[in-house]
Amino acid sequence: MLVALASFLVGPKRGDLRVDVALASMAAFLFGVLLAFTIVRTRERLALVQNLVAKGNSSLFSIHQTMAVFGNGDCRRVRSLIDHHLTDQIDYRLVDYHLASPSYLQLVEAIYALEPSTGQEEAVYKELVRLGIDMSSSRALIEAATGQAMSPIEWSGLLLLLLLLLGLIAVLPGGTVLGALVAGMLAGTLVTLMVLLRKLDLLRWHERVTIWEPTTRLFRNMGHDPYVPREVIESGRYWPSGSIRIVDYPDPYPIRITKIVTVENLDGRESHHHDALPPAVVAGS
């Protein structure tokens, strides 16, 4: 809209048309090449992270199910650590996946410390150890991928080219109403592509169907209420149904020790507070 208005107001009061067209052509070429390359790279990074996260969640569910062959004490402890690790991952942004490493280490240490006493437990224990090793490998790949976000220099270059291109688009139409409308639509398209790139870089593209919905099903399959930050629901990124553990963070990111968990029924809008224990307390329970 701003570009369309500026284009209409500038009218014929512009420089040499041939110079403006040449500059716009060069800027559009550079911007298009850089933007296309960057979008492809960030989409590949996002797909890798999403696949590895799905693989890790599958391994956690397998551990949760196979722990049934062990004694009640070991079973409850490991399953509690699985739930704690999943909620710990959700507390942090996907780009900060490494911040959930302490809860993961507590989980695998508890698995490795199991003492099988029967043949069945021995066979399951070997599978659990294999799953733990596979998850460690996947986590290393995820942490490497999430650390490959766009640098400030890359963002600066793209934003400078975008501003230059928007300025040139605004002066080219020559003050005609139709030209101003086309310039506004073109500018809106370019800005939309930059927003898409930003979401891809933050690993939030299609997160509802690739992150939140699978995680919700995983929690329910393990017998727990799904765990969703309130800011995710209020921003419209995901709207769950049924009984949900909704978490609020009173302190700024990444401080999560003071989080408050409330169990709410989003169908009936009933709610009650759940005592949110510090991670060390939950992990040791």
**Confidence (pLDDT) at 177:** 77
pLDDT at residue 268, as a whole number: 58
pLDDT at 134: 94
Residue of 86, 55, 43 lying closest to 282 (CA atoms) = 86
Dihedral sign from CA coordinates of 15, 21, 24, 26: negative
Q: Give me the pLDDT at residue 193, please.
A: 93
State residue 141's pLDDT score: 94
Rounded to an integer, what distance in angstroms lies between the CA atom of residue 55 and that of residue 138?
A: 8
Those residues whose C-beta lies under 8 Å from the C-beta of residue 268, and which sit 6 or more positions away, are none
Q: Look at residue 205 in the predicted model and tell me its pLDDT.
A: 84
pLDDT score of 283:
33
pLDDT in tens, the chain (285 residues): 665 555 545 555 555 667 677 878 888 899 999 999 999 999 999 999 999 999 999 999 999 999 999 999 999 999 999 999 999 999 999 889 999 999 999 999 999 999 999 999 999 999 999 999 999 999 999 999 998 889 999 999 999 999 988 888 877 766 677 777 888 888 899 999 999 999 999 998 888 888 999 999 999 999 999 999 999 999 999 999 999 999 999 999 999 999 999 999 987 555 555 544 443 333 333
pLDDT of residue 162: 92
Q: What is residue 181's predicted lDDT score, i.e. its pLDDT?
A: 84
Q: Which pLDDT does position 278 carry in this prediction?
A: 40
Return the pLDDT at 169: 81
pLDDT, position 145: 92
Secondary structure string (H, E, C) spanning the chain: CHHHHHHHHHCCCCCCHHHHHHHHHHHHHHHHHHHHHHHHHHHHHHHHHHHHHHHHHHHHHHHHHHHHHCCHHHHHHHHHHHHHHHHHHHHCCHHHHHHHHHHHHHHHHHHHCCCCCCHHHHHHHHHHHHHHHHHHHHHHHHHHHHCCCCCHHHHHHHHHHHHHHHHHHHHCCCCCHHHHHHHHHHHHHHHHHHHHHHHHHCCCCCHHHHHHHHHHHHHHHCCCCCEEEHHHHHCCCCCCCCEEEEEECCCCCCCCCCCEEEEEECCCCEEEEECCCCHHHHHHC
What global pTM score does this model have? 0.80
